[in-house]
Amino acid sequence: MQGDACRRPDDGVLHAIGNAHIDPVWLWRWNEGLEAIRATFRSALDRMNEFPEFVFTSSSAAFYDLLQQVDPEMLDEIRQRIREGRWEIVGGWWVEPDLNVPSGESLVRQALHGQIWFREHLGVMARTGYNPDSFGHPRTLPQILNGAGLDSYVFMRPMPQEKDLPENVFWWEGPDGTRMLASRITRAYCTWFDEMDEHVRINHEARPSCVRDYTVFYGVGNHGGGPTIANLHSLQRIASDPAMPPVRLSSLREYFSSLSRDIQKGVDIPVVRDDLQHHARGCYSAHSRIKTLHRRAENLLYQAETLATLALTSAGRPWPADVLRHAWRTLLFNQFHDILAGTSLREACEDASHELGKVIADASREVHFAAQSIARQVDTRGDGQPLLVFNPLPWSVRVPVEVEPATGNHIANSEGQPLAAQTVQPEATVDKQRRLVFVADLPPAGYALFRQKEDESAAMPDDGELSAGDTWLQNQFLRVEFDSATGEMVSLLDRRSGRELLAARGHRLVVLNDPGDTWSHDIASFTEVLGAFQDASVLLEEDGPVRAALRIRSSWNGCIAEQRILLYRDLDFVECRIVLDWRQPRRVLKLAYPLALDTPIVTAESPYGFSEWPADGEEHPCQKWVDVSDRSGTAPA
């Protein structure tokens, strides 16, 4: 952060922003949320007839899309109020999502689908980004917002006791240098009963020192409701009372226009170059099923679009626009911050699981249809059963591939050269079903042709190193050893450098006390250790030319962990697959790795970027990869 606070140019006003924070899903299901949207919008339209100066501010294209299905006449009324300048569209996104779990592309699609819907159906596009209730905001967000045509941003969390900022109005600068004028809401985005006088005073005291104006948000929220008659009468009374702070009914566009005028006059606005974190850290490890289904749906949609593009250009298969549009919008809706965080009631989480399952099914079908369309164009004539392996990523990869049912026990590449292959335990339990594993080199956004052969005389390439014992695995890159009694890792040796990467026993399943609620409000870390999984059995399960594998079974207080530790001959990582039978409420399970690093730096993926976190034992949002490094080496966490 940089930029010093300065004296306020002159007395300004509080812009009273009439809104209704609507959780379409939280302590109720989506159908109840739809009725809350209808009731809230009806109330806002009625208040406009009674209070000529009243302006209503609202986000989330999904709300209007739902409204169009059941009450198109109300949508016509809203269009008229938009034309009059009394109904303000903000946010520009499909919903107000969680911002730490979705990928960068998902946040771009939030804006793409939201802004397109608003333009096509309401004739406007939002200019102010709006996520007041989301639980944290990655530092890459300014660039994403700017790309969607948004020039300002409103948020509330993290609150002052959670994140110290130089002012409640500041330039938020992303890693690429994009700047966004941001404003943090003070106290709350909604009001209840007769608290308006206190609410106005608190917001007046929190106003920034560099600019004249600030905001005060009002209206009943969470389950909707919006500004009440009592709210509006209170604001009229306060506005006419010289003993109270100056306040007027307004919009966010008027407010940011006022800030822009101050900036043009040369006021000094602080600059923040940081993630806006943390709030509700515990929700990022709550309800793992929702998060797993979400990530799978997200990844499959990327694959479907990549292969659909290749199928369109190479085979002329029509682009599946309707299927993908519906799938994306279903995914985007279920990124709403109380759904994806796992902080909604059980029935609502079941609804989300069903909807995400539908996205997965639709995307999987499109992946298959597109792949088959491409495969038709490939000349697969030759010896053996052809096998096309696709890579939807925009970079080349070397990855393990498992095939079931396998039609041979050997694999050759497209030039007929044999590759190391290994028969492993199939998923099916019927006789004669086979599963084959091999390591494939795949081109970016493309495919490679392999052949399965039944040839006992074929020479298996033997140009790598792989060995295993009862409790250890080793290849040319790594050696990993486990304790047969506890199942804990006692050594992780980088054979290239000769360096031991563990400072103490690692890969420990540690059980910690969780004293908080679903969100873990006011909890930064879980430190009370209750125990660790013990009573292990370690079995060498595979020892072949492609990979070796250990199976580790351990337990704690009736909970059972089944682990498979795999090391491939030609790959420089250890793969761990865990199936957990968990029977402990109000407990946290962590996989602990004390790494032998002098000055550790934690770098983790964030939406279309990365964030750096201190190695302080606190909970930090991380996406699909984490790197823990120091000057002398790198250890994957």
Query: pLDDT, tens digit, for every residue of 563-615?
Result: 999 999 999 999 999 999 999 999 999 999 999 998 999 999 999 999 999 99
For residues 392 and 370, the answer to whether their CB atoms sit within 8 Å is: no
Query: pLDDT, tens digit, for every residue of 236-271?
Result: 999 999 999 999 999 999 999 999 999 999 999 999
Give one DSSP letter per residue of 234-286, joined into a string: HHHHHHT-TTSPPEEE--HHHHHHHHHHHHHTT----EE-S-B--S-GGGGGS
Position 194 scores a pLDDT of 78
For residues 108 and 302, the answer to whether their CB atoms sit within 8 Å is: no
CA 239, chain centre distance (Å): 42
**Can you tell me the mean pLDDT for 321-340?**
98
The per-residue pLDDT of the chain, averaged, comes to 95
Helix, strand, or coil (residue 91): coil
Residue 363 — pLDDT band, cuts 50, 70, 90? very high
Query: pLDDT, tens digit, for every residue of 48-68?
Result: 999 999 999 999 999 999 999
Position 220 scores a pLDDT of 94
Query: pLDDT, tens digit, for every residue of 137-170?
Result: 999 999 999 999 999 999 999 999 999 999 999 9
Position 7 scores a pLDDT of 37
Q: Which CATH number fits domain 282-375: 3.40.50.1820, 3.40.228.10, 1.10.630.10, 1.20.1270.50?
A: 1.20.1270.50
Phi-psi region of 227 (alpha: psi -120 to 50; beta: other; left: phi over 0): beta
Residue 209 — pLDDT band, cuts 50, 70, 90? very high
Give the whole-angstrom CA distance, residue 594 versus residue 573.
17
Q: Could you give the C-alpha distances from 153 to 25, 85, 212, 255, in angstroms and in order?
A: 23, 20, 18, 12
Tokens 């709006």 correspond to what residue?
A: 130
Residue 616 — pLDDT band, cuts 50, 70, 90? very high
Give the whole-angstrom CA distance, residue 503 versus residue 500.
8
Residue 224 — pLDDT band, cuts 50, 70, 90? confident
SS3 assignment for 479-490: EEEECCCCCCEE
Position 1 scores a pLDDT of 37
Q: Which residue ranges does the chain devote to CATH 1.20.1270.50?
A: 282-375
Position 6 scores a pLDDT of 40
Which tokens belong to 337? 């911050």
**Can you tell me the mean pLDDT for 21-42?**
96
Residue 8 — pLDDT band, cuts 50, 70, 90? very low
Query: pLDDT, tens digit, for every residue of 477-511?
Result: 999 999 999 999 999 999 999 999 999 999 999 99
Q: 9 pLDDT exceeds 80?
A: no
For residues 218 and 251, the answer to whether their CB atoms sit within 8 Å is: no
Q: 2 pLDDT exceeds 60?
A: no
447 has which bridge partners? 390
Q: Which residue ranges does the chain devote to CATH 3.20.110.10?
A: 14-279
B/e letters for 511-524, b = 16+ CB within 10 Å, e = fewer, are bbebebebbbeebe
Query: Listing from the earlier edge strand, what are the strands of the sheet with 626-630?
Result: 609-613, 601-606, 626-630, 633-636
Residue 631 — pLDDT band, cuts 50, 70, 90? low
For residues 557 and 385, the answer to whether their CB atoms sit within 8 Å is: no
Q: Which CATH class is domain 14-279?
A: alpha beta
Q: 76 pLDDT exceeds 90?
A: yes
